[in-house]
Structure 1
């Protein structure tokens, strides 16, 4: 029989609370649908996203073209689900980038007092710039490409995670069990990884979902401005940018990519809010 407070019971309790949260389940369901459509796009899409058919240009949604066609006769449905692959790739890559560098900076700044002030000032300076303006400046300086977009957005959102990790580390390093580990001569790297980092997984997870949503939205914004990936690659931002010229004639060109962005970002926000409520002891009592 599992002991009270054991990891198995804690995990089961967390899952049971997660299932009862309707907003989290709805967000997860939407996110899973978007991810499945994007991952299986080569098998689900009825047409190639780059297939041109000028005779079928600006066809309204119907049985042949579910979401209609664009100015070159390309199937909007096929391009929409293919564009989801790039958005998910960018979001996941930016989260990974921010997690690696943000967690490292936050841990070092919070644990080592001598490094706290300079790192904290750098973080504050980077967060003083609006996210999209800093991303535009970095992409313009490095040149538009998929790798550049990921690196630029990773640099933009790394300070967000670093700031949260630093603040939590400042508290955790003063707790009795950390002091006891120091007194016993436990190596610093072991204290940081096993005693500090393990207790930061909850805020990192929650902030990671928000960064995922912000990155997808920022990537769409950069593509809309022509600073994202190559125009030949379908993205939600470039599709909306192309459709604005035909907003009165073929509004479906902007409608469906816009809905895809809204659903993806909204689902991630719902999941992030749900995780925050479930993992934060101060909010859990109100659930």
Structure 2
């Protein structure tokens, strides 16, 4: 009797990519840290032992202990609870800024790269916006519009969208000259269809990589604006406002600045590590060295 040979189905391309992606220890570590921050933010109401706004003057400036893991602030509020809830706001701002920046930047980049008559004015606009330091432009926009959560998201989206627009424009200038795009034009396919199906589809990799870096930059910028008093209302816990309020107690209650500062460092650093891994995996020139 002939022997029946069975073969195991191979892994999909997505699974292979994910396995190669996690082979780098720094990338895997960064991804684990991000997942932990996301879980803490989502489950904050159930994980936090105290309300982030609960005052207890009797327990003010208590050092870290079994009762208060990260200590308390000048109003007796639990810093561990406030740090977790502050992470929710930072992740929300980062996700919203990346989404809005992608919509603005990709649209401007596609228009500038695909239509020659729009290239010069949009390119000059991008250059003019990128000539200003990011934080100074964000401060000016927030000061003009008024400090609030929505204002911070809009200001940071305007600040970071030129980065994506420049990358998308440069890639679109190359892709629009490729034979398959010329063939699509010759077949009478609509311009919108060509831009979305043939051009934008080939820009997913650089957009994902840049979006990861923008996420980290947005979280860091939001903390900076909150530190300067230009972010959300002071009653809402943010890492920036926690560090700002702990400045005057450095030397007396260092834990007030240490723990939210460590949270900023870990979250931004982990996003940068994941972004570096994505760039190395998606860039053919760098992938050969892996």
**TM superposition score category, shorter chain reference:** over 0.9
Deviation at 1:265, TM superposition (A): 0.2
| RMSD over aligned Cα atoms | 1.2
- Secondary structure (helix, strand or coil) at the match of 1:144 reads coil
> Does residue 1:205 correspond to 2:185, yes or no?
no
Distance (whole Å) between structure 2 residues aligned to residue 119 and residue 99 of structure 1 = 16
1:255 aligns to what?
258
List aligned pairs for 1:209-220, cutoff 5 A.
Answer: 209-220=212-223
1:268 aligns to what?
271
Distance (whole Å) between structure 2 residues aligned to residue 16 and residue 215 of structure 1 = 28
Distance (whole Å) between structure 1 residues aligned to residue 101 and residue 52 of structure 2 = 31
| TM-score of the superposed pair, with normalisation by structure 2 | 0.96
Distance (whole Å) between structure 2 residues aligned to residue 58 and residue 114 of structure 1 = 62
List aligned pairs for 1:84-123, cutoff 5 A.
Answer: 84-123=87-126
Residue of 279, 282, 286 corresponding to 1:279: 282
Deviation at 1:177, TM superposition (A): 0.6
2:196 aligns to what?
193
Residue of 204, 223, 226 corresponding to 1:223: 226
Deviation at 1:211, TM superposition (A): 0.3
2:184 aligns to what?
181
Q: How many residues align?
A: 282
Q: Which runs of 5+ in 1 are unaligned?
A: none
Deviations 1:101-132 (A, max 9, x none): 10000000000000000000000000000000
Distance (whole Å) between structure 2 residues aligned to residue 9 and residue 48 of structure 1 = 45
Runs of 4+ off more than 6 Å: none
Distance (whole Å) between structure 2 residues aligned to residue 259 and residue 15 of structure 1 = 28
Residue of 160, 164, 176 corresponding to 2:163: 160
1:235 aligns to what?
238
Distance (whole Å) between structure 2 residues aligned to residue 19 and residue 236 of structure 1 = 29
Deviation at 1:16, TM superposition (A): 2.1
Which structure: larger Rg? Answer: 2
Deviation at 1:12, TM superposition (A): 3.1
Residue of 55, 59, 64 corresponding to 1:56: 59
Deviations 1:150-199 (A, max 9, x none): 00000000000000000000000011110111111111000000000000
Q: Which runs of 5+ in 2 are unaligned?
A: 1-5
| TM-score of the superposed pair, with normalisation by structure 1 | 0.97
Deviation at 1:11, TM superposition (A): 2.1
